[in-house]
């Protein structure tokens, strides 16, 4: 589905989900601009990784990408 062409209601639902991820990743650092920049990058990284994984037919490659992305996301978020 191409969300860029979706209704405003669907776009608002996506925005809500992104903001929820930002809040989860922000923790106690929500007001720190540097931390927010890192969190926004981490959210984009996670979403992009899932888009790629879901688009692949090769399950082994998808799992490899998923696991390496998960490991990197954990390192970034520490």
Per cent of the chain over pLDDT 90 is: 46
pLDDT in tens, 1-26: 677 888 999 999 999 999 999 988 88
What whole-number distance in Å separates Cα of residue 12 and Cα of residue 8?
6
- Tell me the pTM: 0.75
Instruction: Give me the mean pLDDT over the 33-59 stretch.
Output: 91
Residues with Cβ within 8 Å of residue 5, at least 6 apart in sequence: none
Give me the residue spans of the domains in the chain.
Answer: 3-77
Instruction: Give me the mean pLDDT over the 56-67 stretch.
Output: 96
What whole-number distance in Å separates Cα of residue 11 and Cα of residue 9?
5
Q: Is the pLDDT of residue 35 over 90?
A: no
């Amino acid at each position: 589905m191409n969300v860029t062409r979706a209704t405003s209601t669907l776009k608002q639902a996506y925005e809500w989900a992104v903001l929820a991820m930002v809040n989860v990743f922000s923790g106690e650092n929500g007001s720190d601009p540097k931390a927010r920049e890192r969190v926004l990058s981490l959210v984009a990284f996670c979403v992009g990784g899932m888009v790629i994984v879901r688009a692949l037919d090769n399950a082994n490659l998808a799992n490899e990408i998923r696991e390496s992305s998960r490991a990197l996301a954990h390192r970034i978020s520490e």
